[in-house]
Copies of this chain bind each other. A is one copy, B any other.
């Protein structure tokens, strides 16, 4: 989520030490959306899932000081306000936001007019309500009152408003939007609705659109067969967004969930909408994303605490195993593969065969045995790239695979003339029976490609590509040390060492490294898939080691 860090989101709200509401819920929500979270605290509460026991209001000038420190330094793309507690704090917050507006620097503001907590505690002093309406609302992009808050905001000395249905919610949203000149999201968590109500409202008002979320639509009968009727609650929950600029409404409808994990629902929703705005979504899409995020937060929550527990804010995030490339480690995937194949990898690279080859004392017949089998192996290897081409989706991928086949074909010619210098004719090469070690390795590569996808097959050919490069570099590096055990001058295998340590082969290694790192970034594997990939790499590394063993005569 590296790039995401640039999406700054600010919450101006109270603190809930138990972690389910307030700035704690907001910061978790920002993080789950890949936003960079900042938080200005207006008041501290001593609360948990059973209720609010005390509130410590932050001195208003210290709220202002926090706000200025954030705005002076952090690029904030969206703001949400939560508990503003009292009239003075609310007015001070409004003052700073107004300054930003005057300077043309105010990011979209989502105002959750937090008046009463889920547990029933008053979180906004009565004198603050007027300040909210007269000073904060004019600065906002959206306000997100629930049913009681909407009723409170529409109450006049002469009349009371009661919201009992979706139709009431529509009327109230239109009226409140008129009164406040801002977009209004009336939250319907306290209102029971049905699919029929959705039909009715769209029939009555042509400016109402319905967005169904996680509901069963037509042609989904197979998903309902054999289900417990209790699970198929026909009751739905709706939130209604009214936007004054388009004079249109969107109803977001989703299944009602019976749950006690609702502590901080309002905080979470407004923070999720702000996250969407920070990501550059339209208001309509930001609300859709936020409503669904909150829904799944409730639906997947585990019980925490004795009262109304918190939402699961992390339902949509997975941990990755391998980090992104960094300047000190541009190949984290290759680093991971080699690190986790440690002993076997070392046994392959620093094999006795390689050591004797470096010393120039390797018996000629062992080397000949090796190059004869290598000839057969290269046939598997070339075929593997043919299989890879057949499993590719783009011309560049097909081209890359074919290019490697062409270079193997070219290598075969060199191989033949190289063999001739060791007295092995082309005919003898062709007629040598394939050893078990060659079959095991070659067939395992092909099997990886038949069983898995292109990525799995890439893992299977990688060990050979990287390993010979490593062997070449190791011998070369050792040969450059004073009094080295590696002998280059007069070594009958000098050309072999030079080939694999040379720029030609090493540039092919670098292409391979770049390819797998790109693969990891484009399609980051789950832990299960990564385990499968590592398993293939480890297996092939062991089979490479077995190939040297075979050449040394340990196996035929």
The chain A residues found within 8 Å of chain B, CB to CB, are: 1-6, 8, 15, 17-19, 24, 27-28, 31-34, 36-41, 44, 46-50, 53-54, 56, 58-59, 62, 65-70, 72-75, 214, 216-223, 225-227, 231, 233, 255, 257, 296, 299-302, 304-307, 310, 312-320, 323-324, 326-331, 334-335, 338-339, 342, 345-346, 349-350, 390-391, 393, 450-454, 456, 466, 469-470, 473-474, 477, 506, 509-510, 513, 522-526, 528-529
Contacts and interface: CB of A to CB of B under 8 A. Distances in A.
Contacts of A44: 41, 58, 62, 66
Contacts of A301: 5
Given A41-B41, A225-B509, A31 B466 contact: no
A56 B334 CA distance: 49
A17 B1 contact: no
Given A305-B73, A328-B214, A391 B451 contact: yes
B65 A38 contact: no
A74 B214 contact: no
A419 B172 CA distance: 63
A473 B39 contact: no
A221 B44 CA distance: 55
B323 A299 contact: yes
B450 A453 contact: no
Q: Give the number of times this chain occurs in the complex, counting copies.
A: 2
A380 B338 CA distance: 41
A239 B218 CA distance: 60
A406 to B, nearest CB: 22
Given A44-B58, A219-B349, A326 B300 contact: yes
A17 B40 contact: yes
Nearest to A228: B327
Contact of A39 (B17, B66, B296, B390): B17
A335 B216 CA distance: 8
Contact of A334 (B36, B223, B506, B526): B223
